[in-house]
């Protein structure tokens, strides 16, 4: 789709020219600008005050060398990034991704989306993202530790509990956060909440591990209930088998759904009787092995090489929880042909623009990432609150707050879409609702 508004079309051209070779960033900006067309038509001051021009330019980009020594004594060099995208409504907040596909364009798209997602949570957090092209797969704990220590030795220069608070994302979980926290504390001699997703013995929040997957299901349940439906009795397909996928499986099952498939980057498993989550947790969280191993626990399940075929499995609810652009137009058509009712994104930007168009034009309820997976970062902000108070809440207290936040996000996205004449378009609604708060804060703070 092209932009009809002349100023936004010119801005988009500029973004493409100034950020060459970064298609994921272009894709993320294009979607937001499309959603904002009716907003700038109604409120042209967002254009005239330069809010739009400033919004697409990160406040700061840090790019650094990460040298470390592997188990064979060989020096390895990776590249590290932190993009501090927007601090209008709070300190920069967003995860760190360690994956070989990471380059500046990936971190930029993630940081840009994080601005609106964080705004939607209703909590005071700005947008940022970071990471490295380091691949934790197949590395020993010692190698991961030395890498994390080297990464933090540079990163610590720009972060801080009231400045920028990183967390996990793909390839960064409790183990990596622990190593990075230890190094930060050692270098700075400060015991502060500079990272979230910390272990429970050193300042972590209960329910942060579960939060993204749980939040995704709370959002999906809201979307379904608004149409008089629910998870009960639904067949659910979830891609990925990492942090988000595992806890989405748990919550979808608790809400009465039956999850029949999961995947990793090598392939997918199909277990029509319902996924045995203890087996998946053992394989993925404890042994760090491939999803194929699931057949050792459940011989009646099937394994198929290649991850895209997962979307050909018939289901009522599909939750993509692996990575960007994992669900394309052909996959969306297959889901629609099989009668899918709702799709909600646990991963960031997992559906291509063409896939989203297929869902929306076929009346499938579609929950975009910025809204649907915001439970993770929202609970990170609750971890920051607990750290500031030097208190900790119970699992139930955090989970209740998370649930309320997800209901609020659904309602705000739905109402914003309606207000601008795009009822049931939660993509537009999430982008608009997330944007308005940030834009007003930027306008109020002058040209900075």
341 annotated active-site: no
Interface mask toward ligand NDP for 176-215; x: CB under 6 A: ------------------------------------x---
Which pair of structure tokens corresponds to residue 442? 């930027």
State whether residue 93 is helix, strand or coil. strand
Q: Does residue number 99 form part of the binding site for ligand 2IT (CB under 6 A)?
A: no
When asked if residue 322 is in the footprint of ligand NDP (CB under 6 A), the reply is yes
Examine residue 380 and tell whether it contacts ligand 2IT (CB under 6 A): yes
- Please, how many CA atoms are within 13 Å of residue 260, restricted to the half-sphere of its CB? 20
Q: How many CA atoms lie within 13 A of 431 on its CB side?
A: 23
In the complex, least distance from residue 114 CB atom to ligand 2IT, rounded to whole angstroms: 6
Q: By rule CB under 6 A, what count of residues binds ligand 2IT?
A: 11
93 contact, one of ligand NDP, ligand 2IT, none, CB 5-8 Å limit per kind: ligand 2IT
What is the chain's percent helix, strand, coil content, to nearest 5? 50, 15, 35
Q: How far is the CB of 124 from ligand 2IT (least distance, A)?
A: 13
- Binds ligand 2IT by CB under 6 A, chosen from 24, 169, 210, 326: 169
HSE of 264, CA atoms in CB hemisphere, 13 A: 19
CB of 167 to ligand NDP, least distance (A): 7
Q: Which does 343 bind (CB under 5 to 8 A by kind): ligand NDP, ligand 2IT, none?
A: none
- Tell me the three state secondary structure of residue 103: coil
Distance CA 322, CA 351 (A): 11
251 is a site residue for ligand 2IT (CB under 6 A): no
User: Where does this chain touch ligand NDP (CB under 6 A) — which range of 188-196, 249-257, 270-278, 320-328?
Assistant: 320-328
348 is a site residue for ligand 2IT (CB under 6 A)? yes
CB atoms within 10 A of CB 230: 15
Per-residue tokens: 104 = 């500046």
Measured CA to CA, the distance from residue 109 to residue 87 in angstroms comes to 16
- Cα distance between residue 206 and residue 199, in whole Å: 9
Should residue 243 be labelled a site residue for ligand NDP when binding is judged by CB under 6 A? Answer: yes
Please give the Cα distance from 405 to 410 (Å, whole number). 9
Among 196, 205, 263, 323, binds ligand 2IT (CB under 6 A): 196
Residue ranges in 347-366 that form contacts with ligand NDP under rule CB under 6 A: 347-348
Please state, in angstroms and rounded to a whole number, the distance separating the CA atoms of residues 198 and 182: 11
Nearest approach in angstroms of CB 208 to ligand 2IT is: 8
Q: Residues 102, 180, 236, 321: which binds ligand NDP (CB under 6 A)? A: 321
Write b or e for each residue in 421-446: b if 16 or more Cβ atoms lie within 10 A of its Cβ, otherwise e. Answer: ebebbbbbbbbbbbbbbbbebbbeee
Question: With respect to ligand 2IT, which residue has the nearer C-beta, 150 or 380?
Answer: 380
Measured from the CB atom, the residue of 212 and 220 that comes closer to ligand NDP is: 212
Identify the H or E element spanning 81: strand 75-86
Helix, strand counts (H, E) of the chain: 17, 12
Buried b (16+ CB within 10 A) or exposed e, 52-90: beebbebbeebebebebeeeeeeebebebbbbbbbbbbb
**Two structure tokens written together for 390:** 């030097």
* Closer residue to ligand NDP (CB): 176 or 221: 176
128 binds, among ligand 2IT, ligand NDP, none (CB under 5 to 8 A by kind): none
Please count the residues of the chain. 448
Task: Determine which one of 93, 108, 117, 129 is catalytic.
Answer: 129
387 binds, options ligand NDP, ligand 2IT, none, Cβ within 5 to 8 A by partner type? none
- The region, left, alpha or beta by phi > 0 then psi within -120 to 50, assigned to residue 22 is beta
Binding flags for ligand NDP, 49-88, as an x/- string (CB under 6 A): ----------------------------------------
Residue closer to ligand NDP, measured from CB, 235 or 241: 241
- Size of residue set near ligand NDP by CB under 6 A: 25
Beta carbon nearer to ligand 2IT, 95 or 367 = 95
Taking the complex as a whole, the smallest distance from the CB of residue 242 to ligand NDP amounts, in Å, to 2
| Pairing of β 342-344 and β 60-69 | unpaired
Q: Determine the angle formed by the axes of helices 208-225 and 375-389, rounding to 10 degrees.
A: 130
Check residue 127 for interaction with ligand NDP (CB under 6 A).
no
CB of 127 to ligand 2IT, least distance (A): 10
Tell me which residue has tokens 């378009």. Answer: 425
Binding site for ligand NDP (CB under 6 A): 168-171, 173, 212, 240-245, 264-266, 307, 321-323, 326, 346-348, 373, 376
Residues catalogued as catalytic = 129
Binding site for ligand 2IT (CB under 6 A): 93-95, 117, 167, 169, 196, 348, 376-377, 380
């Amino acid at each position: 789709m092209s932009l009809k508004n002349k100023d936004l079309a010119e801005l988009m051209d500029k973004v493409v020219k100034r950020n060459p070779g970064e298609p994921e960033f272009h894709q993320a900006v294009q979607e937001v600008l499309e959603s904002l067309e009716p907003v700038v038509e109604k409120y042209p001051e967002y254009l005239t005050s330069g809010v739009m021009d400033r919004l697409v330019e990160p406040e700061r980009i840090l790019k650094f060398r990460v040298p470390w020594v592997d188990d064979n004594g060989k020096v390895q060099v990776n590249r590290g990034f932190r993009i501090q995208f927007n601090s209008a409504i709070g300190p920069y907040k967003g995860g760190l991704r360690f994956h070989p596909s990471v380059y500046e364009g990936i971190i930029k798209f993630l940081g840009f989306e994080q601005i609106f997602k964080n705004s939607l949570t209703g909590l005071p957090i700005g947008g940022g993202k970071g990471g490295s092209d380091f691949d934790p797969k197949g590395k020993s704990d010692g190698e991961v530790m030395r890498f994390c220590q080297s990464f933090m030795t540079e990163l610590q220069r720009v972060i801080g509990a009231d400045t920028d608070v990183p967390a996990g994302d793909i390839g960064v979980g409790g183990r990596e956060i622990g190593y990075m926290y230890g190094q930060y504390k050692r270098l700075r001699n400060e015991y502060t909440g500079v990272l979230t997703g910390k272990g429970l013995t050193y300042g972590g929040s209960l329910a942060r591990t579960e939060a993204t997957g749980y939040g995704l299901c709370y959002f999906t349940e809201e979307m379904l209930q608004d149409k008089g439906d629910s998870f009960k009795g639904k067949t659910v397909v979830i891609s990925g088998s990492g942090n988000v996928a595992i806890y989405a499986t748990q919550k979808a099952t608790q809400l009465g759904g039956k999850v029949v498939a999961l995947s990793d980057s090598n392939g997918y498993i199909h277990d029509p009787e319902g996924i045995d989550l203890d087996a998946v947790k053992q394989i993925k969280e404890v042994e760090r092995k491939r999803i194929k191993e699931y057949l050792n626990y459940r011989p009646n399940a099937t394994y198929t090489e290649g991850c895209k075929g997962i979307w050909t499995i018939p289901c009522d609810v599909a939750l993509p929880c692996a990575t960007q652009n994992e669900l394309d137009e052909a996959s969306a058509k297959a889901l629609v042909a099989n009668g899918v009712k709702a799709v909600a994104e646990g991963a960031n930007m997992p559906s291509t623009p063409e896939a989203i168009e297929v869902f929306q034009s076929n009346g499938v309820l579609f929950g975009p990432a910025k809204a649907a997976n915001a439970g993770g970062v929202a609970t990170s902000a609750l971890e920051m609150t607990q750290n500031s108070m030097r208190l900790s809440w119970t699992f139930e207290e955090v989970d209740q707050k998370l649930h309320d936040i997800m209901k609020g996000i659904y309602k705000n996205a739905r109402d914003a879409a309606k207000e601008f004449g795009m009822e049931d378009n939660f993509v537009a609604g999430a982008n608009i609702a997330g944007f308005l708060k940030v834009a007003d804060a930027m306008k109020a703070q002058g040209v900075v």
